[in-house]
Chains A and B, each alone.
Chain A
Amino acid sequence: MVTENFPSRFESLAGIRDFVNLAAKDAGFNEKEIYAVELAVDEACANIIEHAYDGEGKGQIECTCNNINGGLEIIIKDDGKPFDPDSVPSPDFSVDLEDLQPRGAGLFIIRNLMDDVSFTFSKNKGNILRMVKRKKE
């Protein structure tokens, strides 16, 4: 299990992706799966900075990668505002171009690229996002 803390700045995103990239490689995923993990984690951390912390430089993002039987578990923690995934509307990409609204794509991507996704919040531990990517047999 490896854990690293990153400042909640968009500048940190490349380092966070590199961190999970190495863990996903180590877990034996193929290139396409590694990209999926990187993208899901990037979207999650960008959302934390933008919505949980309401902007850059207001806290830390703690990222833990854990090799589990058959896959990789990633836990991302922050001390920002409670995040309620049910409050985020699903993006509608069937509408005309002019009516497209830039909202909810990140969460949609996370849920589609990872196998297990759960959000919890507690007053003393903050937001905890747990994601699992499983290896295809």
Chain B
Amino acid sequence: MEITTTEYKRCIVVKSVGRIDSYTAPKLEEALLSVTKNGNYKIVLDMEEVDFMSSKGWWVLIETQKTCKRYNRGELVLTAVQERIRDSLDLVGMGSYFQIFDDLVGAVAYF
């Protein structure tokens, strides 16, 4: 799994490529923690090239969302989530904790 981080004026875009499971989720967690530890709480996670996501990955995003939303200082939003992954997110019921945008431009413009 590859993760890249790009700094925009009003938010940080984290792009993950590959499969997120119990083996790779710690890498995503580390990347998101380094963003929040630097005081950035407005984050877009670009999931266009994520083609698998287990519940372990969702818990990483839930914990990041808790950190971002604390004191109303920001939010983690998702973009370009593949349909089958979105289906599983909605099935589990975690979908309501995230705003999901169809494309990156819309997600970045949200902040």
Contacts and interface: CB of A to CB of B under 8 A. Distances in A.
**Real complex partners, A and B?**
yes
Interface of A: 9-11, 13-14, 17, 31-32, 35-36, 38-39, 42-43, 46, 49-50, 91, 93-94, 97-98, 100, 102, 105-106, 108-109, 112-113
B23 interface: yes
A25 to B, nearest CB: 15
A113 B92 CA distance: 10
Contact of A112 (B65, B84, B91, B94): B91
B95 to A, nearest CB: 9
B87 interface: yes
Interface in B66-102: 66, 69, 84, 87-88, 91-94, 96-97
15 contacts: A9-B23, A13-B21, A13-B22, A13-B23, A32-B87, A39-B52, A42-B22, A46-B56, A91-B93, A93-B93, A93-B96, A97-B62, A100-B66, A102-B62, A105-B55
B58 A105 contact: yes
A43 B58 CA distance: 12
A112 B54 CA distance: 14
Contacts of A100: 62, 66, 97
B59 interface: yes
Given A13-B23, A93-B93, A43 B66 contact: no
Contacts, number: 73
A50 B55 CA distance: 13
Interface residues of B, number: 24
A100 B92 CA distance: 13
B32 to A, nearest CB: 15
B15 interface: no
B55 A11 contact: no
